[in-house]
Chain A
Amino acid sequence: MFGWLVWRDLILAWRRRADVLATFFFFVLVVSLFPLGIGPERELLRSIAPGVVWVAALLASMLALGRLFGNDYQDGSLEQILLTPQPLYLVVLAKILSHWVVSEVPLVIVAPLLGVQFGLSQNTLIVIALSLLLGTPVLSLIGAIGAALTLGLRAANVLVALLVLPLYIPVLIFGAGAVSATVEGLSPQPYLLLLGATLVVSLVFAPWATSAALRISVE
């Protein structure tokens, strides 16, 4: 059942790939605009790179949240999914997993390439990918709570931003911190460990909170 749900969301994303590509190119463009705007000042670019990449990833993943439950809610298939005979925790986890694969994994892959524009060392590029790999699932997990709470509301997009962005702050600090540390020649390990810990905590609590929020929104 878990597999079917993931498969379903992957096919649906493929059939509506314009939506997915839109957030992907949003990320690519936002990150690329900074070096163009600031000019070839190597030191400055290097010091802002971690923040720029991470803030762009935050915004891109927030933009993608609308389609996590929105389409299924509108055509009634969310109700059908909620009525399947399996724990809602797993249902939600499957949806978040496929959402992460579709919306966040491309960002993780392309981020090191974009980092080249900022003149980052190879080591730093690896840490960018690694920090995003650990951090973006947290963004999807926390974002799912906001998406579920604002389901069917009129100003859902604005509300999601207000609800979710403050909760993203720890991820931003740890993620950008890991990259900054590497830029300055320090070890990113403590930041990555903290990101990992955040991931474990949100993996346990976020699907549970999302399930509760979905039940309320659908009622």
Chain B
Amino acid sequence: MLEVISLGCIRGDRRLFKDLNFSAERGELVEVWGANGSGKTSLLRILCGLAQPAEGEVRWDDKNIRSLGEEYFGSVAYVAHQNGVKDELSAIENLRIAGGVAGNSLGVREAQEILARIGLQKESNLPSRFLSAGQRRRVALARLLITKAELWILDEVLTSLDAAAAALSSTFIGEHLRNGGMAIIATHQELNISATATRRLEITT
């Protein structure tokens, strides 16, 4: 279970939010809404442990994520604004290396199957610099299909995806939730994800 206790964030001399409280159980979806620059990305970065909060704490199964360290990282998958896809590597290499580095090695065939599932079977051997923005996004999302992490933290996940890919990712996020996972998604648009419990979090300063 993820608990956020009186979290506050300051960027530069601007206060983005303060006294933010919420929790998420397994199977629950948290949608983070807010205007541009309201601190959605900052919140997600704090939740995945990349940034330190100015105040408050984030607790995972009753332990502060700061004290858990890398143990916590094993439970988190983060898809950021920047895809983290290397231009020099093909989609298949990107996926296999991302998996290997995160401790989920997978074979060429497996990687090919996952890329086919996400609609990149033809492009799987092309260097990623030839892929479109939406296709790179798909490569980044393919990482979610190989991770064992329970908590998915997704920053504007549907950006630059076409309708088919958006529907597909909504489906597998829904599947993840039904299998007892959690997802925290920053968004500007309605997500059509079927979840047993959806919490809507508005960030206001």
Contact = CB atoms under 8 A, between A and B. Distances in A.
Interface in A147-178: none
Contacts of B103: 1, 84-86
Nearest to A1: B103
Contacts of B85: 75, 77
B105 interface: yes
Contact of B100 (A4, A15, A83, A219): A4
A86 B50 CA distance: 14
Interface in B53-92: 70-71, 73-74, 76, 78, 80-89
Interface residues of B, number: 31
Given A5-B101, A8-B101, A219-B50, A76 B93 contact: no
A79 B70 contact: no
Contacts, number: 79
B86 A81 contact: no
A80 B93 contact: no
Given A79-B78, A83-B76, A11 B93 contact: yes
Interface residues of A, number: 25
A85 B73 contact: yes
B138 to A, nearest CB: 15
B102 interface: yes
Contact of B74 (A7, A85, A88): A85
A88 B50 contact: no
B106 to A, nearest CB: 11
B73 A84 contact: yes
Contacts of A88: 70
B78 A83 contact: yes
A75 B85 CA distance: 7
Interface in A42-76: 75-76
B89 A79 contact: no
Contacts of B52: 219
A87 B103 CA distance: 12
B51 interface: yes
A4 B83 contact: no
Contacts of A85: 70-71, 73-74, 102-103
